[in-house]
Amino acid sequence: MNLSRTLFIVFLLFEGNFCQRVVSTSVIYDSKALVIDGKRRILQSGSVHYPRTTPEVWPEIFRKAKEGGLDVIETYVFWNYHEPVRGEYYFRGRFDLVRFVKEVKQAGLFVHLRIGPYACAEWNYGGFPIWLHFIPGIQFRTTNNIFKKEMELFLSKIVNLMKDENLFATQGGPIILAQVENEYGNVEWAYGIGGQLYIKWAAETAVGLNTTVPWVMCAQEDAPDPIINTCNGFYCDLFTPNSPSKPKMWTENYVGWFLAFGYAVPFRPVEDLAFAVARFFETGGTFQNYYMYFGGTNFGRTAGGPLIATSYDYDAPINEYGFVNQPKWGHLRDLHIAIRHCEEPLVNANATQIFLGKNLEAHVYHKSSKECAAFLANYGNFSDATVLFKGNSYFLPAWSVSILPDCKNVIFNTAKVVSQTNLDNDALTWNITMHESLLSSSPWSWYKEKVGIWGNNSFQASGLLEQINITKDTSDFLWYTTSINVNEKIKKNQTKEAGLLIGSLGHASLLFVNERLVGFGYGNHDDASFMLSVKVNLHSGSNRIDVLSMMVGLQVGLEGEFLGLENLTLANSSIWTKGSAMPNNQSLIWYKTVFLAPEGKAPVSLNLASMGKGQAWVNGQSIGRYWSSYLSPSTGCSESCDYRGTYDASKCLKKCGQPAQILYHVPRSWLQPGENLLVIHEEIGGDPLKISLLTQNGQVICGRVSEDDLPPTDTWEPSVGFVSTIPELRLACEPGWYIASIHFASFGTPEGKCGAFIPGSCHTNVLSIVQKICFGKQRCSISVSEAKLGDPCPDVMKKSLAVEALCRALE
């Protein structure tokens, strides 16, 4: 009795002591992997950029990342927003980096902090503050003392901020890795010897900051020791680091691609993405990062140039609105579980490569008779194959990898997707998943911008100017005014036709003659420069020509910007015109209305399809630039893109001949109960009465699993095997949502795909069985077996269960 009490007390003391101790985590690396607390690790990572969503959403994204099998969150640091004015720092709201890192830790994940400070990232000016451009004598990213001094100041600012908050792993924080510079190897040649010296300096400076965690440089073949050079690309299986003492790491695995105005929407099939990941680990990789795992939104004017769109969705596993993108999220989760089961042999044994046939090979990691993992690959893009491996035969679809955590049983194949599929909201089901309310009955008012120079900050110059030099990026706009004198006698009320030609390096321009809009010129993401050539009518005497030069990605500015029309403070000002004669199809006009916030928590967006080009604000917060009138080319799309074969950014495109983006995310945390102010600045002409407010109040989800599919990866136990050999069809709604109806449920040979399933020649309607299991649930699972579902046609060998259901938000 006494003894056990004593033990109890001792235990408590130990517990208390343990809780107060800072748990320091050591991070080093060797030739195989990052070594965390003495253990080599296989790490799955995903990029999430803090300013591309609101802090309220961060925890949910990290929770989904953790559930999706990630270990690490990777982010850039955005210098221009942290030091908008030299020496004045900002770390609040969406830019609260410390809060972000702490939230990652809270979710049980590590952080890879890519300080740069150059980021690129389709971010305005690549993350460099604009004031940097104006320091006399500065040259960016080379061995220039002025630049180096500013870069060092910022690097140490961030490192010290993290140290002060105990955020490095050795201090008990989540940061296990840091990056200096970014993809400099791609441009280094252009800087000559200066580039080489700069990289050496950057490496020494970074190491000198004593972060106590390893540094990496991505796409930097000559990264000096001890900095690890890492790979960026669609595939990195062929990559080897520049020293045998460094592990093989992949910092940017593109899950899709970024979107630009005037372009079709890129996507990357998950079968190919999973193939790339599996090949990487098969060939000795130990750290891999999805760029992006959650892409989010380029709010305000944060989008980089030229012409990067406001949505940064990237076809990422978590979509712009924070919902999982299925089957991408689920299939990658299954993959991560399968790779995790191979961790010990992967990090402790060397691979033996075995040739299995043309485009067929195995990599075997044999640590001991008990610990052996194998990857079987068919990297041919056309032919499925059956291979013989260790006396067993295995079917390998083209462009796929099978994972065998015990060198015998396949628990995952990259081309076999058994996870749930979700329908795009803009597909057939729009009307049942989106609640749309037109803002036409809202009280609108407007303000017509003056054409041409309006203030007193104008000056004279000859020729066109470098825009960033003038605007200092305080605005997208720069006015040019000139006049042309027509001396010839022209009859009264008659005009003379003339040609006007304007050349611009980008990105867009409006041309006015005598305050009337006569032309609109613009470039594109690949070549932002353009020529604007128009025929105009001039009258006798002086004719005023005004050109509004516009940046899409960087007197100055517009009058409306100067007045602060987007601001709440002017919401009730008499500067706005009210009335029933709302002008539409007008250039340079500001519109304003109020709308009621939709109830609940479901995602909200504005449909700006009826508008031309401009920017929109909700309660004074910019939800970004829009450009609905810029349609993508009508050809080049392939909605059902074949995942087999080498992927590139132009291989799989959708929405040809349509605007790149019509829906603009309004974060829930920017809305208030009751009335909300919407201000729109339209630059070329649109119809605000057709703007609608959308709330996603439903989601169509599907599953399709065959009798001979594998059971879920998470039911594999190392010493047992699959707990049950029966495959399962699993469905899950977003947290707080539930299955409200089942649209389709057939066991047999169902045909078609999600949104358009039809019964096949062999069919049992299993609606009532599925309903019983799933109705009203947030998630459910149905065993795919004849015993459970009945046997409609005994002579058909491989029967499948296909289900389509509708999720709704809990009221």
CA distances from 347 to 118, 248, 370 (A): 32, 11, 15
Contacting ligand NAG (CB under 6 A), which of 166, 210, 392, 672? 210
Of 455 and 633, the one with the shorter C-beta distance to ligand NAG is 455
Cβ 37 to ligand NAG shortest distance, Å: 16
What letter would DSSP give residue 350?
-
What the block records as the tokens of 761 is 């020649």
Alpha helices (runs of H) in 480-616, residue ranges in sequence order: 559-563
Distance, in Å, from the CA atom of 318 to the CA atom of 62, rounded to the nearest integer, reads 10
Contacting ligand NAG (CB under 6 A), which of 186, 430, 724, 758? 430
Q: 60, 152, 165, 183: which one is catalytic?
A: 183
For position 514 contacting ligand NAG by CB under 6 A, the verdict is: no
Of 166 and 761, the one with the shorter C-beta distance to ligand NAG is 166
Distance, in Å, from the CA atom of 17 to the CA atom of 513, rounded to the nearest integer, reads 78
DSSP secondary structure of 702-715:
EEEEETTSPPPGGG
Cβ 381 to ligand NAG shortest distance, Å: 4
Cβ 360 to ligand NAG shortest distance, Å: 13
Nearest to 611 by CA among 695, 552, 553, 682: 682
Of 329 and 477, the one with the shorter C-beta distance to ligand NAG is 477
Of 205 and 567, the one with the shorter C-beta distance to ligand NAG is 567
Distance, in Å, from the CA atom of 790 to the CA atom of 783, rounded to the nearest integer, reads 12
What the block records as the tokens of 347 is 């990090």
- Binding-site size for ligand NAG (CB under 6 A) equals 28
The values of phi and psi at residue 22, to 5°, are: -80, 125
Q: Which residues pair with 216 in a beta bridge?
A: 179, 228
CA distances from 497 to 480, 515, 534 (A): 22, 17, 10
For position 4 contacting ligand NAG by CB under 6 A, the verdict is: no
Contacting ligand NAG (CB under 6 A), which of 4, 369, 393, 431? 431
Contact between residue 663 and residue 319 where contact means Cβ atoms under 8 Å apart: no
Contacting ligand NAG (CB under 6 A), which of 120, 568, 575, 723? 568
Q: Which residues pair with 218 in a beta bridge?
A: 230
By rule CB under 6 A, what string of x and - marks binding of each residue 212-251 to ligand NAG? x---------------------------------------
Cβ 562 to ligand NAG shortest distance, Å: 6
For position 455 contacting ligand NAG by CB under 6 A, the verdict is: yes
Of 106 and 166, the one with the shorter C-beta distance to ligand NAG is 166
Contact between residue 228 and residue 222 where contact means Cβ atoms under 8 Å apart: no
Alpha helices (runs of H) in 493-623, residue ranges in sequence order: 559-563
Of 491 and 798, the one with the shorter C-beta distance to ligand NAG is 491
For position 719 contacting ligand NAG by CB under 6 A, the verdict is: no
By rule CB under 6 A, what string of x and - marks binding of each residue 347-366 to ligand NAG? --xx----------------
**Which span (147-155, 317-325, 545-553, 562-570) binds ligand NAG, by CB under 6 A?**
562-570
Contacting ligand NAG (CB under 6 A), which of 381, 383, 514, 765? 381
**Which span (271-279, 283-291, 496-504, 565-573) binds ligand NAG, by CB under 6 A?**
565-573
The values of phi and psi at residue 399, to 5°, are: 55, 50
The values of phi and psi at residue 516, to 5°, are: -110, 135
Of 368 and 482, the one with the shorter C-beta distance to ligand NAG is 368
Cβ 9 to ligand NAG shortest distance, Å: 35
252 is catalytic: yes
> What region does 262 belong to: left with phi over 0, alpha with psi -120 to 50, or beta?
left
Nearest to 490 by CA among 542, 545, 541, 534: 541
Of 10 and 428, the one with the shorter C-beta distance to ligand NAG is 428
For position 756 contacting ligand NAG by CB under 6 A, the verdict is: no
- 624's CB contacts (< 8 A; 6+ apart) are 297, 298, 299, 300, 303, 310, 615, 616, 664
Of 240 and 585, the one with the shorter C-beta distance to ligand NAG is 585
By rule CB under 6 A, what string of x and - marks binding of each residue 665-704 to ligand NAG? ------------x-------x-------------------
What the block records as the tokens of 615 is 């920017």
Of 677 and 732, the one with the shorter C-beta distance to ligand NAG is 677
Q: Which residues pair with 478 in a beta bridge?
A: 549, 556
Cβ 584 to ligand NAG shortest distance, Å: 8
Cβ 431 to ligand NAG shortest distance, Å: 4
Q: 252, 282, 343, 361: which one is catalytic?
A: 252
What letter would DSSP give residue 181?
S
Contacting ligand NAG (CB under 6 A), which of 59, 108, 192, 564? 564
Of 250 and 512, the one with the shorter C-beta distance to ligand NAG is 512
Distance, in Å, from the CA atom of 307 to the CA atom of 293, rounded to the nearest integer, reads 23
Contact between residue 112 and residue 211 where contact means Cβ atoms under 8 Å apart: no
Q: Residue holding tokens 């040649």? A: 189
**Which span (86-94, 186-194, 271-279, 426-434) binds ligand NAG, by CB under 6 A?**
426-434
CA distances from 151 to 89, 127, 146, 166, 463 (A): 14, 12, 9, 23, 34
Cβ 677 to ligand NAG shortest distance, Å: 6
By rule CB under 6 A, what string of x and - marks binding of each residue 631-660 to ligand NAG? --------------xx--------------
For position 567 contacting ligand NAG by CB under 6 A, the verdict is: yes
466 is catalytic: no
Nearest to 315 by CA among 561, 652, 768: 652
**Which span (109-117, 309-317, 425-433, 477-485) binds ligand NAG, by CB under 6 A?**
425-433
Distance, in Å, from the CA atom of 357 to the CA atom of 351, rounded to the nearest integer, reads 18
Distance, in Å, from the CA atom of 656 to the CA atom of 155, rounded to the nearest integer, reads 43
Which segments within 281-378 are labelled E, that is strand?
287-294, 351-357, 360-366, 372-378
Q: Which residues are catalytic?
A: 183, 252
Contacting positions for ligand NAG (CB under 6 A): 210, 212, 349-350, 381, 428, 430-431, 455-457, 465-466, 469, 492-493, 517, 564, 567-569, 571-572, 585, 645-646, 677, 685
